Amino acid sequence: MEELNQTTVVEREPYDVIVIGAGAAGMMAAGTAARSGKRVLLLEKMEKSGRKVRITGKGRCNVTNARPAEEFLEHVRTNREFLKQAFAEFNNRATIRFFERMGVKLEIERGERVFPQSGKAWDIANALLEYCVESGVKILYETRVTEIMTLGGRVFGVRYRNKRGFERKEECSQVILCTGGVSYPATGSTGDGYSFAADLGHTIEPLRPSLTPLKTSHPQMKFLHGLLLKNIRATLYIDGEVAREEFGEIGFSERGIEGAVALRVSRDAVDALIDGKSVKLVVDMKPALDEETLQERIKREIASMEPTEFFGELMRRLMPKPLVMPLARELDIHSKNYISKTTDVEITRLIKTLKGLTFPITDYAPFEYAVTTAGGVSCEEVNPYTMESLKVRGLYFAGEVLDLDANTGGYNLQIAFSTGRLAGLLKQ
Ligand SMILES: Cc1cc2nc3c(=O)[nH]c(=O)nc-3n(C[C@H](O)[C@H](O)[C@H](O)COP(=O)(O)OP(=O)(O)OC[C@H]3O[C@@H](n4cnc5c(N)ncnc54)[C@H](O)[C@@H]3O)c2cc1C
């Protein structure tokens, strides 16, 4: 073997593909490309991969949803048609098989939501990382891409700032852009990909927080923090018309009205507020009872009480305790009034409130608290069969950077996996 002397320069093979962002989409794309024999470099600006994946599903990671394809796609809010090809290439069943093959046991919960049996989102993030490492992907952390380099409408590399703060460039023939959205920016998703895409001539559909808490001017709101209401029906009204109806749970915190139901309706609420429309959320705390049945129930409760018991006790029997004082104020009935003194008018007011507690929605929580970003790289300018840019050859997109978003329930991660897999196949 020829000996190397000190002046010999060892030429390293250039990378075929550079993937920007080691999130859900980026790791799926990088591993897929490496499996097909490509030399892949994955650049991640944070100190570890999958920072966002690690906090998903309140630390449990709702990794996908097991509904049949048609039903699944109904939960995709934007560009459903565009997503169909990627979903056909790598659907929710494929995601389940993928993680089980990687040794992560999964289980299906209410609403067909799929979680790791361990209850640990880290298992999902680590499986994705292992997939990349096993496939031979080279990963550089604390490495922030600053530019995608093109020549004559083709990608030829990227510029980045390395761990030590030095500017470097690396050539390649294909780039997969997986920088995510702008929600929860502390996880690394700060929207860099939108600027790269815009600089290369892509249209960026306006960005809005989606699946985000809603702010209300309801005077009792500050007394409701920490409260969780289960099995309620929430109806979103936009300019007085019913826009959406959801069943489930709703929570209250200093961030606003949250919980699965509020997050699901937030997508429409945010758009309506941006358009200057009036928005309100009406909560029915007794959706299983019509007004007449509820009235009979209340009368039965009153009949079973001592006349010297208080109105507050009646309320206590009908709603969670923390709601009693704020709702008594809303009803303008003193909770210490004797039950025997309760009038029919007051009972009617109580029923109306239980069936239609109304929250005027005045604002929404910012990107810092939003689960996803609506808007992004316009799908009109991306080939749905390949995820390649229609403007720049060799540039591919995957994940939340695209103008794709869905309901809560495991749909958003599936978007990242489906588009990541298709992009990683580097079809032309
Ligand atoms: C709190 C929370 C809970 C969630 N729970 C769920 C859930 O249970 N189920 C579900 O389906 N969805 C959930 N989501 C949504 C889901 O996490 C995202 O839709 C998904 O992670 C998007 O994947 P992505 O790879 O496109 O982007 P990201 O996961 O955001 O990854 C983007 C990566 O790119 C890196 N990056 C950005 N810019 C650069 C740059 N210039 N150079 C190098 N690297 C860069 C970032 O550091 C980051 O690692 C949740 C989101 C949040 C915020």
pLDDT digits (tens, 9 = 90+) for 128-171: 999 999 999 999 999 999 999 999 999 999 999 999 999 999 99
H-state helical runs in 3-106: 24-35, 69-74, 80-89, 92-101
Pick the closest to residue 389 from 427, 359, 415 (CA basis): 427
- pLDDT (0 to 100) of residue 186: 95
Cα(199)–Cα(189) distance, integer angstroms: 18
Residues with Cβ within 6 A of ligand 1? 20-26, 43-46, 51-53, 55-57, 61-62, 144-145, 178-180, 183-184, 188-189, 192, 371-372, 399-400, 410-413, 416
Phi first, then psi: what are they for 158, rounded to 5°? Answer: -135, 155
- pLDDT (0 to 100) of residue 3: 45
Pick the closest to residue 209 from 256, 254, 155, 162 (CA basis): 256
**Three-class secondary structure of residue 52 per DSSP:** coil
Pick the closest to residue 146 from 130, 172, 170, 110 (CA basis): 170
Query: Of the ranges 118-132, 201-215, 272-286, 318-332, which one carries the lowest mean pLDDT score?
Result: 318-332
Cα(196)–Cα(228) distance, integer angstroms: 41
Q: Measure 197 CA to ligand 1 centroid, in angstroms.
A: 18
pLDDT digits (tens, 9 = 90+) for 5-60: 454 555 678 999 999 999 999 999 999 999 999 999 999 999 999 999 999 999 99
Cα(164)–Cα(53) distance, integer angstroms: 26
Q: What percent of the chain has pLDDT over 70?
A: 97
With beta carbons less than 8 A apart as the criterion, state whether 322 and 227 touch: yes
Q: Measure 221 CA to ligand 1 centroid, in angstroms.
A: 31
* Position in ligand 1 atom list of the atom nearest CA 180: 27
Spell out a b/e string for 90-108, using b for 16 or more CB atoms within 10 Å of the CB, else e.
bbbebbbebbeebebebee
H-state helical runs in 275-361: 291-303, 311-318, 324-331, 344-355
- How distant, in Å, are the alpha carbons of 248, 278, 361 from that of 262? 9, 16, 11
The best mutation among 412, 418, 419 to test binding of ligand 1, ranked by most ligand atoms within 8 Å of the C-beta, falls on: 412
With beta carbons less than 8 A apart as the criterion, state whether 401 and 181 touch: yes
Rg of the chain's alpha carbons, rounded to an integer? 26
Strand partners of residue 6: none
Relative to beta strand 395-397, strand 174-177 is parallel
pLDDT digits (tens, 9 = 90+) for 267-297: 999 999 999 999 999 999 999 999 999 999 9
Element (H, E) at 265: helix 259-274
Which amino acid would we find at residue 332?
D
Q: Measure 23 CA to ligand 1 centroid, in angstroms.
A: 5
Q: Please determine, for residue 312, whether its predicted confidence score (pLDDT) is greater than 90.
A: yes
Q: What percent of the chain has pLDDT over 90?
A: 93
The best mutation among 413, 414, 417, 421 to test binding of ligand 1, ranked by most ligand atoms within 8 Å of the C-beta, falls on: 413
With beta carbons less than 8 A apart as the criterion, state whether 317 and 386 touch: no
Cα(52)–Cα(188) distance, integer angstroms: 8
Pick the closest to residue 399 from 409, 388, 412 (CA basis): 412
Q: Please determine, for residue 119, whether its predicted confidence score (pLDDT) is greater than 50.
A: yes
Atom 52 of ligand 1, residue of closest alpha carbon: 371
**Average pLDDT of the residues of the chain:** 95
- pLDDT (0 to 100) of residue 12: 73
pLDDT bin (cut points 50, 70, 90) of residue 4 is very low
With beta carbons less than 8 A apart as the criterion, state whether 384 and 88 touch: no
Q: Measure 22 CA to ligand 1 centroid, in angstroms.
A: 9
Tokens of 142: 């604390």
Spell out a b/e string for 61-87, using b for 16 or more CB atoms within 10 Å of the CB, else e.
bbbbbbbeeeebbebbbbbeebbebbb
Relative to beta strand 204-210, strand 372-377 is antiparallel
Burial class from Cβ neighbours inside 10 Å (0-12, 13-18, 19+) for residue 130 reads middle
Domains and CATH numbers, the chain: 17-209+372-424 (3.50.50.60), 213-365 (no CATH)
| Mean pLDDT of the region 90-101 | 98
The best mutation among 75, 189, 377, 401 to test binding of ligand 1, ranked by most ligand atoms within 8 Å of the C-beta, falls on: 189
Atom 51 of ligand 1, residue of closest alpha carbon: 371
